[in-house]
Amino acid sequence: MADSEFFAIGFDLGWDLARFGRTAPKDVALPGLRDGYRAGHLQFPFPQHRCDRFTAKWLQLRVGALRRRRAVDAGVTADYLRSIDADFCPVVLSPLTHATLADTDWSVDRINNDGAYAVGNLVVLSTRANKAKGRKDYARVAALACGDPNEERQRLTRRQWARLACLMFASDARCVADVHCGALLTRLPQDCRAPLYYLVQQVLLANCRPASTRNAMLRALDRLIGQSCHTARMRMAVERLAMLQATVAYPYDALADPRVQENLWAWFSALDVRCAAPLVSLFQHFGAVPCAASLPDKWRVITSGYPPSHR
């Protein structure tokens, strides 16, 4: 892609770097960045705003994207990064640190490496998990979770690879068209894409305790879907899930229980396809992540995360 096509992007980034009192990277030589930084520095000889860690990360992501000529969607802002922030890594479950140069430090990575820096395609991970993920796609991560003999598996445990696979499952439609997603093993970040079966598990986990909430949820599902021979399966799955919550250190581990999965999948697989849309609406009312049949255009997966004019 010609540098001229990135002039405006680079200029805006340079301007923001100066506005927040950051240093312009010397290895990014696009004219727009230098011109924007000089203009911003003249306009703002002193920083105009406090650069918190979310703003610093937002600027860092834009610099990295400019180096790679990747697209950054306008919805990716410091406030958006704040909204997907986490206290612990959803893959290795370690508490996240900041600016300690340890492998527990927080990092922001694209879920689908062939997508743009876009809303729903970003997740907060530990540096350790980010490095282990690298450039791997879902198929490779899923193979490692299943025990594929490879030295890379030693960087994470099988359960940790499986958690990462859960995060990536719905991000690449080429890999998952005929694959059962299985148990939801970790928290999904805000706005990420998820299959309907994950949404079911997310909502059940969030509402299985106390008993009053659990019963209200089951009544709502009965009203939506109607009584069937599989209603008992759902109730057994939810009640066992509630019981297991007191026995596991990480709530999502309860969803890996074989009896929970057996009963829940029997209920889910018997649903009429016409129930899908009402279920999505009901679960989003309960705070579930979005569920869509295809990836958003803003992810630019078709162009491997590059702007449409990339050559």
The pLDDT value given to residue 36: 93
Res 311: pLDDT: 45
- Find out whether the peptide bond into 251 is cis, omega within 30 degrees of 0: no
Q: Where are the domains of the chain?
A: 1-81, 84-182, 196-285
Length of the chain equals 311
The encoded tokens of residue 284 equal: 């989003």
pTM for the predicted model, two decimal places:
0.90
Question: What pLDDT is stored for residue 87 in this prediction?
Answer: 96
Q: Map tokens 């540096």 to a residue.
A: 127
Residue 58 has a pLDDT of 97
Q: How does pLDDT run along the chain (311 residues), one tens digit per residue?
A: 555 667 888 899 999 999 999 988 886 667 789 899 999 999 998 888 889 999 999 999 999 998 888 889 999 999 999 999 999 999 999 999 999 999 999 999 999 999 999 999 999 999 999 999 999 999 899 999 998 665 555 689 999 999 999 999 988 776 655 678 899 999 988 888 888 899 899 999 999 999 998 998 888 888 887 756 678 899 999 999 999 998 999 999 999 999 999 999 999 988 888 888 888 888 877 767 766 667 888 888 888 888 766 54
E strands, 82-218, where? 106-110, 122-126
SS3 category, 123: strand
Q: To 5 degrees, how large is the angle CA 207–CA 212–CA 217?
A: 45
Are the C-beta atoms of residues 190 and 261 closer than 8 Å to each other? no
**pLDDT recorded at residue 253:** 97
Q: 106 by DSSP, 3-state: which?
A: strand
Half-sphere exposure for 300 (CA within 13 Å, toward CB): 19
